[in-house]
Structure 1
Amino acid sequence: MAAIHKLRKCVVSPTGKHSASVIFLHGSGDTGQGLRVWVRDVMMPGLTFAHIRVIYPTAPARPYTPMHGALSTVWFDRYKISYDSAEHLQSIDAMCSTLGSIIQDEVIAGIPKHRIIIGGFSMGGAMALHLACRYHPDVAGVYALSGFLNKDSVAFQAVEERVRAGHSLPELFQCHGTSDELVLHQWGEDTSVLLQKAGMKTTFHSLPGLHHQISLQEMELLKAWILQKLPSS
């Protein structure tokens, strides 16, 4: 078996005792450091907490089919950026294993999985959903900002199977701008509806006029939700 690639990480430490963690995945072509700076520019001083460590990993550069095979820092490959497209499961599953090592590092550091939240922006949100729905359903929550799952995603089936077996699932938090022309608002909303239909508890916020970007309103909503799911202990 090939060795798991160690990802570069940008980490924002809590101001007090560390008792919970958030893993925040960037969108395609970005970096963990880039996302951290973007969040800080939108909401000073950034996504900071007294007890929660926020981890911004960077995806390794890989050939990306929608860019005609050019290298890009993306979590997985796509056949095309389309709600109706098949998923590139080989690259998704490989990255789930790689990102799982970050979760395991937090557990080794003393943070139980029910005190960890996984989320992301755009492609990072889709990656987080695969991680939480299929591989780490015992985390405290999952969020997706301006992201979506493909119409026939295997994640929907994974949620249904877990519900039928009587197992628990993390809660999903989503935000999506109504003016997003890259990842359509309808794709994000449909993802929420299908996951809810499969048995997952979801919260979906439509943000009028927001394009494919993050906003202060969105980050304030997210921070409040994170603190609800991961209160200080």
Structure 2
Amino acid sequence: MSSALTYIESNPPGEIKSTVIWLHGLGDSGHGFAPIVPELKLPEELGIRFVFPHAPERAVTINGGMRMRAWYDIKSMDFDKRADSAGVHESAGLVTQLIEAEIANGVPASKILLAGFSQGGVIALHLGPRFNKTLGGIMGLSTYMSEPSLLAEQADSANAKTPIFMAHGEQDNVVPVAMGQAAYQTLQANNYDVSWHTYPMQHNVCMAELKAISQWLQERLG
């Protein structure tokens, strides 16, 4: 089974036992986060494969209609209108194909972790709770939530207890930390096993965060 999304991949030296699908942010590509794999210093025996897909190119309204890689259009910077729901649903469908391809290649859903930064995190937080097979974990970095009011009715029970890792920069001027906190609180209110981490940084990742991510990945996929 194949996906419409192209991607960068990083495979372990031995048997593939688990997969992390990591979604980039607006205007980036799968190349953006691929260099962090060695920084995570994950034990080789865990057999973790990384997949970094490229978002489709589309016109982005807030950037004057410029075409760039984006998981959805951003028509307004308003808190409750930032994520274009049609684009979110379309990209969630494409990422679902990626997950199903990993399952078809022999990686159980429980050993697949869905991660995303910024726009990619929006897709991870949207798709993960709605996916119909139990995933190993969901990670949202410097991100927010699309359609939080619909989570309760749309969520699939398969991922009701799936651990969720959220992290955000305290000085983020692209996605204000309050937007991440709102997503965290929505997940909490819906009884998800979600953890919240903040760091003295802007809209990026830092070494302390990568260490926490590495530990969390090892707990989830060990």
Q: What is the aligned counterpart of 1:196 among 188, 195, 198?
A: 188
> For residues 48 and 33 of structure 1, what CA distance do their matches in structure 2 show?
19
> For residues 152 and 214 of structure 1, what CA distance do their matches in structure 2 show?
25
| CA deviation vs aligned residue, 1:17-41 (integer Å, no higher than 9, x gap) | 211100010010000012213x26x
Matching residue of 2:101: 105
- 8 Å contact kept, 1:47–1:54: no
Q: What is the aligned counterpart of 1:226 among 211, 214, 217?
A: 217
> For residues 12 and 170 of structure 2, what CA distance do their matches in structure 1 show?
33
Q: Given residue 145 of structure 1, which amino acid in structure 2 is its aligned partner?
A: L
What TM-score results when the alignment is normalised by the length of structure 1? 0.86
Matching residue of 1:78: 74
Q: What is the aligned counterpart of 1:171 among 150, 163, 181?
A: 163
Matching residue of 1:19: 17
Cα drift, residue 99 of structure 1: 1.1
- 8 Å contact kept, 1:125–1:144: yes
Matching residue of 2:173: 181
- 8 Å contact kept, 2:109–2:135: yes
Change (3 A) 1:120 1:47: farther
- 8 Å contact kept, 2:109–2:133: no
Change (3 A) 1:212 1:225: same
> For residues 131 and 191 of structure 1, what CA distance do their matches in structure 2 show?
14
Matching residue of 1:29: 27
Change (3 A) 1:76 1:125: same
Cα drift, residue 78 of structure 1: 2.4
Q: Given residue 222 of structure 1, which amino acid in structure 2 is its aligned partner?
A: I
- Which shows bigger deviation, 77-86 or 189-198? 77-86
Q: Given residue 136 of structure 2, which amino acid in structure 1 is its aligned partner?
A: A
Which consecutive segments of 4 or more residues in structure 1 shift more than 6 A?
Answer: none
- Show structure 2 runs of 5+ residues with no match: none
Matching residue of 1:114: 110
Q: Given residue 94 of structure 1, which amino acid in structure 2 is its aligned partner?
A: E
Secondary structure in 2 matching 1:211:
coil
- 8 Å contact kept, 1:10–1:55: yes
Cα drift, residue 189 of structure 1: 1.1
Change (3 A) 1:79 1:7: same
Matching residue of 1:66: 62
Q: What percent of counterpart residues are identical?
A: 25
Cα drift, residue 94 of structure 1: 1.3
> For residues 49 and 106 of structure 1, what CA distance do their matches in structure 2 show?
21
- Show structure 1 runs of 5+ residues with no match: none
Cα drift, residue 142 of structure 1: 0.4
RMSD: 2.2
Aligned residues between the structures: 219
Change (3 A) 1:79 1:156: farther
Cα drift, residue 49 of structure 1: 4.7
Does residue 92 (structure 1) correspond to residue 83 (structure 2)? The answer is no
Matching residue of 1:213: 204
Cα drift, residue 198 of structure 1: 1.1
Matching residue of 1:139: 135
Change (3 A) 1:126 1:47: farther
